[in-house]
Amino acid sequence: METTTAVAPKPVVAPPPVATQPDAAPKIIARDVNVHYGDKHALKNVTLDIPEKAVMAFIGPSGCGKSTFLRCINRMNDTVASAKVSGLIQIDDQDIYDPSLDVVQLRARVGMVFQKPNPFPKSIYENVAYGPRIHGLSRNKAELDQIVEDSLKKASLWNEVKDRLNDTGTGLSGGQQQRLCIARAIAVSPEIILMDEPCSALDPIATARVEELIEEIRRNYTIVIVTHSMQQAARVSQRVAFFHLGVLVETGRTEQIFQSPHDKRTQDYITGRFG
């Protein structure tokens, strides 16, 4: 593992520049985050506050570092041998790159939904029950059954699968599989859900279902979504962060970013001049 991090400056973390300050209390703060993949400097001095219990969308042209930054938030970049992360990322004032931090626990707090639905090749029930079981979240089968049911309900999938919980998860449609993956993420009671282009493999109807689901759950979770669709960012998010060439160019309320961006690069991107 070559992932490194700077020592967290204590005691107080300076706020980001005014333009990046959210209205709500930040759940996640990032200060001067840099990521290198070998010689490639993929993320440059990113400083950002991500508000609690809201949706923040990361937008920007391909290769600008959106997924790289997203993967810093649950230390998924630890799994990339060439990745070196520096700077500070705190969740609720806790430095998530502190060497004493339990990464398994971190990933239970910070769930992730990927571009391509990736259910386990197991039953629908097992897909959702697996996380709560390994994290010891239930004392008996009845409690586990309840977690599975509640998670599938929150993911708007219960009615479609309640009579076939023993069928394989991979047999569901693409949209259902993605909602199953969201149920799986929800089942361990995360505080944060990271979504990396969660609808890019879905048709418009399945996409609409996932977007409705995000709207339904957003008040209970801090959600960060990477999307190539500005329409999607406008529909689901309350705040947007625009990245370009590894730099966080601008962040603000969604309507402000789309109606009156401060930076010409943001303006050019949202008006389709590049990307």
Site residues, ligand ATP (CB under 6 A) = 37, 40, 42, 60, 62-68, 80, 82
Q: Give the CA radius of gyration of the chain.
A: 19
- List the end-to-end C-alpha distance of the chain, in Å, as a whole number: 33
Cis peptide before 11 (omega within 30 of 0): yes
Is 82 or 166 the residue whose CB approaches ligand ATP more closely? Answer: 82
From the CB of 131, what's the least distance to ligand ATP, in Å? Answer: 25
Helices (H) and strands (E) in the chain, counts: 10, 10
Is 108 or 241 the residue whose CB approaches ligand ATP more closely? Answer: 241
Q: In whole angstroms, how far apart are CA 221 and each of 53, 189, 203?
A: 5, 9, 25
Q: What is the DSSP letter of 155?
A: T
From the CB of 37, what's the least distance to ligand ATP, in Å? Answer: 3
Is 79 or 166 the residue whose CB approaches ligand ATP more closely? Answer: 79
Is 69 or 125 the residue whose CB approaches ligand ATP more closely? Answer: 69
Helical packing angle, 124-134 and 141-154, nearest 10°: 120
From the CB of 72, what's the least distance to ligand ATP, in Å? Answer: 10
From the CB of 127, what's the least distance to ligand ATP, in Å? Answer: 25
Pairwise CA distance, residues 163 & 95, whole Å: 43
